[in-house]
Amino acid sequence: MKPSKIICVGDFVSKLLAESSIPIDLIVIDNRVMRQEIESLQVKAENIFRASNPAGTIQMAAWAALSEALKKPDSILIVKGEEDLLTLAAIALAPQDALVVYGQPSEGMVAVRVDRAKKSEVASIVSQMIRE
């Protein structure tokens, strides 16, 4: 079944999928791979969003930017800081049957099909995070 949207979180997986001509609805990057700065990913996107998100956090402004980016086709969210935990926000905000793809360092790619169970699992994780 074709996913309702494809969302990539991470520079390396976004580059791989973009080079494979897979139509990506939203790319979330921070211009780093394994915490090392890299050359900016060269992809064209109709809609460019930016957010700040320090390592180990999910900032409300970054969550909101991701939410807005999901509403527009062919979007990229460029994060100043770290995008890793925004994978949780992507799963929480994505429509049913979306595919969220992210990198697992030194392991490979992970693809999560978004359904009610995954959204519930993510909601449980996010609810346990410290809010400041």
pLDDT, tens digit, 9 for 90 and up, residues 94-114: 999 999 999 888 888 999 999
- State residue 105's pLDDT score: 81
61, containing H or E segment? helix 60-70
Q: What are 41's two structure tokens?
A: 């990913």
Question: What is the β-pairing status of strands 32-33 and 99-104?
Answer: unpaired
Task: Write out pLDDT tens, residues 109-124.
Answer: 999 999 999 999 999 9
pTM above 0.85, yes or no: yes
Query: Tell me, what's the pLDDT at 15?
Result: 87
Write down the pLDDT at residue 35.
Answer: 62
Burial readout 70-103 (b: 16 or more C-beta within 10 A, e: otherwise): beeeebbbbbebbbbbbbbbbbbbbeeebbbbbb
Distance CA 61, CA 89 (A): 12
Task: Give pLDDT, residue 38.
Answer: 63
In this predicted model, what pLDDT tens digit does every residue of 13-60 receive, in sequence order? 998 898 898 899 999 999 876 566 666 666 778 899 999 999 999 999
- With 70 as the cut, is the pLDDT of residue 10 above it? yes
Reduced to 3 states (helix: H, G, I; strand: E, B; else coil), residue 126 is: helix
The CA-CA-CA angle for residues 45, 47, 49, to 5°, reads 110
In terms of C-beta density within 10 A (0-12 exposed, 13-18 middle, 19 or more buried), how is residue 40 classed? exposed
CB 88 within 8 A of CB 62: no
Max Cα–Cα distance, the chain, nearest Å: 40
Residue 36's pLDDT is 62
**Separation CA 128–CA 132 (nearest Å):** 12
